[in-house]
Structure 1
Amino acid sequence: MKNLPISLLIGAVVFLIACRSGDKSRSQDNALREKIASDTSLNVVKERALKVVSTGFNAGDGYREVWIRDYNTFINLAAQVHPSDTLRDNLIIFFQLQGSDGNIVDGFVPKSTVKPTKGGYDYIYNDLAPHYAGHKNTVETDQETSLIQAVYKYAKATNDTAFLHSKVGQFSMIDRMEQALSFLMKERYNEKYGLLWGATTADWGDVQPEHDWGVYLTNDSHLAIDIYDNAMFLIALDNFMQMAPERAKKWKPIHAQIASNAMKYLWDEKNQKFIPHIYLKGSPFDNTFDENAIFYHGGTAIAIEAGLLSKEQIKSSLNKMIANVKASGAATIGLTVYPTYPEGSFKNKGMYPYGYQNGGDWTWFGGRMIQQLVINGFEEEAYEQLKPMVGRVLKNNGFFEWYTRDNKPEGSGTFRGEAGVLYDAIILLEERIKEQKM
């Protein structure tokens, strides 16, 4: 070998290192496959998820309504246990209750169950849905985008593309989805930043600080731009253009603009995180409070789903989530925000530090982060972060809405959104591991 050219010697060394590295990588892949294959808890959770979704479509036992933001996250699972006609009928009701301006309600209930209550929902009615009443939490900007995403998932799961061209009233589903997108551009678009706005909420939440309940826009609302609403819009735009490619010419430039502006105005390059809000007319919080210290777990997960972050940024975001879990004492990366908003920041008493959407631990969004880890090649990390979520389903014998900092279950015990995202995450992980074996 001493007579060989130096370039050949270097090449041989590089080849040997690559071989050893490849052997190590294959060994790690095999070990992960064995762990997942032998983890019986995954199948148990999938079976329980199928069972809980087979019993209905309302968000959970604490809710009467079928909510679109929930339905969007368990429609894949529902497709395994319900006839496609049933899934389709639920989607149609949302379109039947659609406003003349294109807006979409949050949820619906049978009209026969509505009872006049002081301080409750102002129900929405439409002659196209004579048996149902809808409601809309106007502080949020994700109802239209959630419905479009749900329709896309339905069409993909059932191959019922004819549904897209069927009519509700005078308009086809494609037309109505475009009307919903147009509503957002007309009523929720800020020209200065080129992004959508909503009320100030904690991450993906639907509770504003200014009122005891906090779900309706009022003159006291502080309008703001956040990453969650805009990432949901990007996903919906992408889904819509796949369902209606002939209309992409109009919406593709808008998609590109929203994506560019989201990173330009909301991404904090120095701290490698999304800022919580851009305020259009002042903040509702004390000016001594540094809101930008807060990391939004849910909005970051949805931004990853929207394709906004690089693989390096995804890994950095995951590391921050894991560090937040450790610092807070929470159980999983479903932790909504960290650090939390201080005591008294919200008039709604449920929004205390580490309560509800102010630092509560929600698998409903943590599970979506797991999905994105799998999709982006972080299978081992996905499995590690999935285990505590699966573990508490088994421990508590149910799918709960959210969990306290000390991992105690709260809210509905049949929260179908949690069941849906966990089911999808497990399926994605199992399929990815099988693909790697092949």
Structure 2
Amino acid sequence: MRIRLTYLLIALSTLAFHAPASAQKTTKKGLSLTILHDTRLDTIQARSLRLLTGFTAGTSYGEVWIRDLNTFIKGSLKTHPKEEVKSMLLLFLKMQGDGGDIVDGMIDKKKMGTGAGYEYRYADLAPEWAAHKNTVETDQESSLLQAVRKYIDVTGDRGILEEEIGGKKVIRRLEEALLYILNDRWEEKYGLVKGATTVDWGDVQPETGWGVRINDKTKWAIDVYDNAMYVMAIHDFLAIKPAAYHTQKDWAATAAEIKKNVRKYLWKADVQKYIPHLYLDGSPFPASFNENALLYTGGSACAILAGFNTPKEIAAINQQMVAAAAKEKHATIGITVYPPYPAELFPNMHPYVYQNGGDWTWFGGRMIQALIENGMVKEAVAELQPIIERTLANKGFYEWYDVRTGAPKGSGDFRGEAGVLYDAIVMLREWAEKNK
């Protein structure tokens, strides 16, 4: 019951977080000292860095996934020479498709599996590697752009943008990745990015079968996660591009238009939340199912990071996440969706399993980062507590957790979780140093 009780207390305490400025000033120093003196945070960071000595998603994975690498690259730069990290980023560009698309995962050819599943891609520029692309998700290109920005921020190495791969400079290839989304995953009617129907940020379709590839059952939809990730990627591209580089589009205008359309079509001001999907060719779910009653947490966190919401809206979104977590015995704000989809409507993933209501620190940690970025440090500290306690109790960085039993699931050495926690703690410590 410990995590649930913690979240009940957090749900109550969030109501008192909006104290007058004079009261907030008196508590900043105390909060800063609490953060700086919390030795558990040292333990988490030390364990994170011990795990971030590899690039695969976890020790049970053979692949390097770009959506995962993007979330632990800063920690990786503490444990690897920058040239090794840069080489891994460039490898994704060596596997880039002719249309600009970026693969999902890459694996050493000697470790490839056989049989049904992924369709592999090969490239003369990287003869020792095989790659595959999950086609139901629309975040690989955005993830690579974000990862390159983080690499440059940490290392100061802007020379990576001038390197040539197959006769094209890296900066050109990065823009082509952005253009791929506009050419292949753009819905003109709404002016937004589209993808297949999945759970929030997830990468599996509802129907049974190989759920990570577009097929004749695919229902195209628009969600906030894909659009938030794309806008963050555009912002990162504009931040790193050389002054002399002439872009092929007015990317600032594109990002602004997406934000406007997200607010118009996906954000519901009356309930202060994002709808799960805007369907383009019909929903995979019956009309009797009220999908809009579900809370998507990961996409909402990314929307905040992309700058889509006001401070008052961010507080409302956060309170909904805390309230949802309080309803399950072992949940944190990392619970993917609440309530989960019924089994009969999502046969590929039953309720409370994996992305359908499993609890992922991989995204809960990003919400902690979003809170810190927006000055909600007291909330961030409070909501981080059950995540830290769980991580220490299980002595590992697990992929996801069962909110009914508290049992850790999936890879026991999931680098995505280690990476987001490492970054969140860095952000907390930086805030604390400035305010102590």
Q: Same fold (TM over 0.5)?
A: yes
| TM-score w.r.t. length of structure 1 | 0.92
Q: Distance in 2 between matches of 1:69 and 1:157?
A: 19
1:326 aligns with 2:323: no
Q: Distance in 2 between matches of 1:284 and 1:333?
A: 27
Local SS of the residue matching 2:250: helix
Matched with 2:96 is: 98
The verdict on how the C-alpha distance between 1:132 and 1:21 changes in structure 2, with shifts beyond 3 A counting, is closer
1:68 corresponds to which of 50, 66, 69 = 66
2:57 maps to a residue whose letter is A
Higher alpha-carbon deviation: 212-221 or 178-187: 212-221
Q: Distance in 2 between matches of 1:212 and 1:76?
A: 36
Contact 1:224 1:279 in 2 (8 A): yes
1:225 aligns with 2:218: no
| 1:336-370 Cα distance to aligned partner (Å, 9 max, x none) | 1111111222232xx21111001110000000000
Contact 1:241 1:247 in 2 (8 A): no
Matched with 1:26 is: 25
Pairwise CA distance, 1:247? 4.2
The percentage of counterpart residues that share the same residue type is 48
1:402 corresponds to which of 400, 403, 407 = 400
Structure 2 unaligned spans of 5+: 1-18
Contact 2:32 2:431 in 1 (8 A): no
Pairwise CA distance, 1:62? 2.2
Pairwise CA distance, 1:23? 5.5
1:237 aligns with 2:234: yes
Q: Distance in 2 between matches of 1:37 and 1:114?
A: 45
Contact 2:121 2:132 in 1 (8 A): yes
Q: Distance in 2 between matches of 1:263 and 1:35?
A: 37
Matched with 2:292 is: 292
Within-5 A mapping of 1:305-384? 305-348=305-348, 351-384=349-382
Within-5 A mapping of 1:419-438? 419-437=418-436
| 1:364-418 Cα distance to aligned partner (Å, 9 max, x none) | 0000000111110011110011111111111011000000013210000110000
1:278 aligns with 2:278: yes
Local SS of the residue matching 1:304: helix
Contact 2:117 2:210 in 1 (8 A): no
Contact 1:328 1:338 in 2 (8 A): no
Matched with 2:75 is: 77
Higher alpha-carbon deviation: 209-218 or 138-147: 209-218
Aligned length: 414
Q: Distance in 2 between matches of 1:290 and 1:356?
A: 22
Matched with 2:12 is: none
Higher alpha-carbon deviation: 324-333 or 215-224: 324-333
CA RMSD of the aligned region, Å? 1.4
Pairwise CA distance, 1:419? 0.3
Greater RCO (Cα-Cα under 8 Å, separation 6 or more)? 2
Local SS of the residue matching 1:177: helix
Contact 1:212 1:347 in 2 (8 A): no
Local SS of the residue matching 1:283: coil
Q: Distance in 2 between matches of 1:206 and 1:24?
A: 44
| 1:142-201 Cα distance to aligned partner (Å, 9 max, x none) | 000000100110111111100111011111110101111111000000010000100000
1:178 maps to a residue whose letter is E
Q: Distance in 2 between matches of 1:153 and 1:61?
A: 23
Q: Distance in 1 between matches of 2:139 and 2:246?
A: 21
| 1:6-51 Cα distance to aligned partner (Å, 9 max, x none) | xxxxxxxxxxxxxx96663333112212322232110000000000
Pairwise CA distance, 1:431? 0.6
Contact 2:224 2:299 in 1 (8 A): yes
2:202 corresponds to which of 205, 221, 224 = 205
The verdict on how the C-alpha distance between 1:273 and 1:23 changes in structure 2, with shifts beyond 3 A counting, is closer
Q: Distance in 1 between matches of 2:246 and 2:230?
A: 16
Contact 2:340 2:356 in 1 (8 A): yes
Local SS of the residue matching 2:285: coil
Higher alpha-carbon deviation: 360-369 or 279-288: 279-288
Local SS of the residue matching 1:80: helix
1:209 maps to a residue whose letter is P
Matched with 2:133 is: 136
2:189 corresponds to which of 189, 192, 204 = 192
Matched with 1:175 is: 172
| TM-score w.r.t. length of structure 2 | 0.93
Pairwise CA distance, 1:299? 0.1
Q: Distance in 2 between matches of 1:427 and 1:274?
A: 29
Q: Distance in 2 between matches of 1:234 and 1:403?
A: 29
Matched with 2:267 is: 267
Q: Distance in 2 between matches of 1:190 and 1:357?
A: 25
Structure 1 unaligned spans of 5+: 1-19
1:40 aligns with 2:39: yes
